[in-house]
Amino acid sequence: MFSPEKILQEYFGYKSFRPLQREIIEHTLSGQDSLVIMPTGGGKSICFQIPSLGLPNLTLVVSPLISLMKDQVDALHANGIKAAFYNSSLSEFEKSQLVEDCATNKLKLLYISPESLIHAVKSWLRKLPVSLLVVDEAHCVSMWGHDFRPEYQQIHHLREVFPDAPMMAVTATADKITRRDIAEKLGLRNYELFLASFQRPNLKLTVRSQIAKNKKEKEILDFVRERQGESGIYYCLSRKETEEWSNFFNSNGVSSRFYHAGMASSDREQVQDGFIKDEYNVICATIAFGMGIDKSNVRWIIHNNLPKNIEGYYQEIGRAGRDGLPSDTVLYYNYRDVVLLNDFIKDSEFKEVYQEKIKRMLYYAEASSCRRNIVLSYFGETITENCGNCDNCLEPPSMFDGTLLAQKALSAVSRSHESVGINLLIGILRGADTIEIHEKNLHKIKTYGAGKEHSFVEWQHFINQLINQGVLEIAYDQHLHLKLTDLSGEVLRGAQRINLAAYQEKKQEKKTDRKQKTTLSSDEQLLAELKNWRKQIAIENKVPAYVIFHDSTLTEIASRKPLNEKELLEIQGMGQTKFERFGSTLLEIVQAFQTVPKKDKRSTFEHTFELYEQGLNVEQIAATRQMSENTIYAHLARLYEEGKPVNLNKFVSEYDVNRVKEARKKLNNNNQLKPIFEELNGDLDYRKIGLALSILAGQA
Ligand code: ADP
Ligand code: ZN
The DSSP string of 178-192 is: HHHHHHHHHT--S-E
* Other Cβ atoms closer than 10 A to 593: 18
Distance CA 148, CA 137 (A): 10
Looking at all shown ligands, the one closest to residue 49's CA atom is: 1
Are 141 and 182 spatial neighbours (Cβ–Cβ below 8 Å)? yes
Model confidence pLDDT, tens digit, residues 591-621 = 877 765 444 455 678 888 888 888 888 888 8
Distance CA 518, CA 337 (A): 40
Q: 550 CB under 6 A from ligand 1?
A: yes
DSSP 385: S
Distance CA 338, CA 611 (A): 66
Bridge partners for 318 per DSSP: none
Contacts of 100 (CB under 8 A, 6+ apart): none
Nearest CA to ligand 1 atom 9: 43
Distance CA 270, CA 281 (A): 14
CA distances from 406 to 53, 150, 614 (A): 64, 49, 82
Predicted confidence at residue 356, as pLDDT, reads 78
Looking at all shown ligands, the one closest to residue 170's CA atom is: 1
Residue 448 identity (one-letter amino acid): Y
Predicted confidence at residue 589, as pLDDT, reads 87
**How many angstroms does the Cα of residue 121 sit away from the middle of ligand 1?**
30
From 18, 36, 134, give the residue whose CB has the most ligand 1 atoms within 8 Å, as the site to mutate.
18
Ligand 1 atom nearest residue 16's Cα: 23
Q: Percent of the chain, pLDDT > 70?
A: 95
How would residue 505 be classed by pLDDT, with cut points 50, 70 and 90?
Answer: low
Distance CA 257, CA 280 (A): 8
Residue 559 identity (one-letter amino acid): S
DSSP 390: B
Q: 45 CB under 6 A from ligand 1?
A: yes
**How many angstroms does the Cα of residue 463 sit away from the middle of ligand 1?**
43
Ligand 1 atom nearest residue 296's Cα: 14
**How many angstroms does the Cα of residue 377 sit away from the middle of ligand 2?**
13
Predicted confidence at residue 333, as pLDDT, reads 93
Q: 425 CB under 6 A from ligand 1?
A: no
* Other Cβ atoms closer than 10 A to 312: 17
Nearest CA to ligand 1 atom 12: 43
Q: Percent of the chain, pLDDT > 90?
A: 46
Ligand 1 atom nearest residue 572's Cα: 25
Among 145-149, 297-301, 648-652, whose mean pLDDT is lowest?
Answer: 145-149
Ligand 1 atom nearest residue 18's Cα: 23
Looking at all shown ligands, the one closest to residue 134's CA atom is: 1
Contacts of 291 (CB under 8 A, 6+ apart): 65, 68
Nearest CA to ligand 1 atom 17: 43
Q: 503 CB under 6 A from ligand 1?
A: no
Predicted confidence at residue 603, as pLDDT, reads 66
**How many angstroms does the Cα of residue 75 sit away from the middle of ligand 1?**
12
Instruction: Report whether pLDDT(511) > 70.
Output: no
Model confidence pLDDT, tens digit, residues 93-109 = 999 999 999 999 999 99
From 5, 46, 552, 571, give the residue whose CB has the most ligand 1 atoms within 8 Å, as the site to mutate.
46
Distance CA 334, CA 329 (A): 17
Predicted confidence at residue 334, as pLDDT, reads 87
Looking at all shown ligands, the one closest to residue 376's CA atom is: 2
How much helix, strand and coil, in percent to the nearest 5, is found in the chain? 50, 10, 35
Looking at all shown ligands, the one closest to residue 371's CA atom is: 2
DSSP 174: -
Which DSSP helix (H) or strand (E) runs through 383? none
Q: How deeply is 342 buried, as exposed, middle or buried, from its count of CB atoms within 10 A (0-12, 13-18, 19+)?
A: middle
Are 121 and 160 spatial neighbours (Cβ–Cβ below 8 Å)? no
Q: 158 CB under 6 A from ligand 1?
A: no
Contacts of 59 (CB under 8 A, 6+ apart): 48, 51, 52, 108, 109, 110, 130, 131, 132, 133, 134
Ligand 1 atom nearest residue 8's Cα: 23
Predicted confidence at residue 516, as pLDDT, reads 42
**How many angstroms does the Cα of residue 13 sit away from the middle of ligand 1?**
11
Instruction: Report whether pLDDT(518) > 60.
Output: no
From 14, 547, 577, give the residue whose CB has the most ligand 1 atoms within 8 Å, as the site to mutate.
14
Strands 472-475 and 481-484: antiparallel
Give the residue with greater pLDDT, 61 vs 619: 61
**Residue among 689, 694, 685 nearest 541 (CA):** 685
Mean pLDDT of the chain: 88
**How many angstroms does the Cα of residue 47 sit away from the middle of ligand 1?**
9
- Domains defined along the chain, listed by start: 4-195 (3.40.50.300), 203-394 (3.40.50.300), 399-501 (1.10.10.10)
Looking at all shown ligands, the one closest to residue 201's CA atom is: 2
From 22, 25, 45, 327, give the residue whose CB has the most ligand 1 atoms within 8 Å, as the site to mutate.
45
Q: 42 CB under 6 A from ligand 1?
A: yes
Nearest CA to ligand 1 atom 27: 43
Ligand 1 atom nearest residue 42's Cα: 2
Instruction: Report whether pLDDT(247) > 60.
Output: yes
Predicted confidence at residue 602, as pLDDT, reads 55
**How many angstroms does the Cα of residue 392 sit away from the middle of ligand 2?**
6
Nearest CA to ligand 1 atom 14: 323
Which 3-state string (H, E, C) describes 628-644? CHHHHHHHHHHHHHCCC
Are 469 and 490 spatial neighbours (Cβ–Cβ below 8 Å)? no
**Residue among 329, 253, 267 nearest 298 (CA):** 329
**How many angstroms does the Cα of residue 212 sit away from the middle of ligand 2?**
25
Predicted confidence at residue 128, as pLDDT, reads 92
Average pLDDT of the segment spanning 203-211: 92
Ligand 1 atom nearest residue 17's Cα: 23
**How many angstroms does the Cα of residue 304 sit away from the middle of ligand 2?**
21
**How many angstroms does the Cα of residue 382 sit away from the middle of ligand 2?**
13
Ranked by mean pLDDT, the top range of 36-45, 76-85, 490-499, 682-691 is 76-85
Instruction: Report whether pLDDT(514) > 60.
Output: no
Are 387 and 329 spatial neighbours (Cβ–Cβ below 8 Å)? no
Distance CA 200, CA 205 (A): 10
Average pLDDT of the segment spanning 359-377: 87
Are 388 and 326 spatial neighbours (Cβ–Cβ below 8 Å)? no
Predicted confidence at residue 508, as pLDDT, reads 47
**How many angstroms does the Cα of residue 364 sit away from the middle of ligand 2?**
12
How would residue 513 be classed by pLDDT, with cut points 50, 70 and 90?
Answer: very low
Ligand 1 atom nearest residue 21's Cα: 23
**How many angstroms does the Cα of residue 373 sit away from the middle of ligand 2?**
7
Residue 384 identity (one-letter amino acid): T
Residue 39 identity (one-letter amino acid): P
Query: What is the distance of C-alpha 637 from the center of its chain?
Result: 34
**How many angstroms does the Cα of residue 38 sit away from the middle of ligand 2?**
20
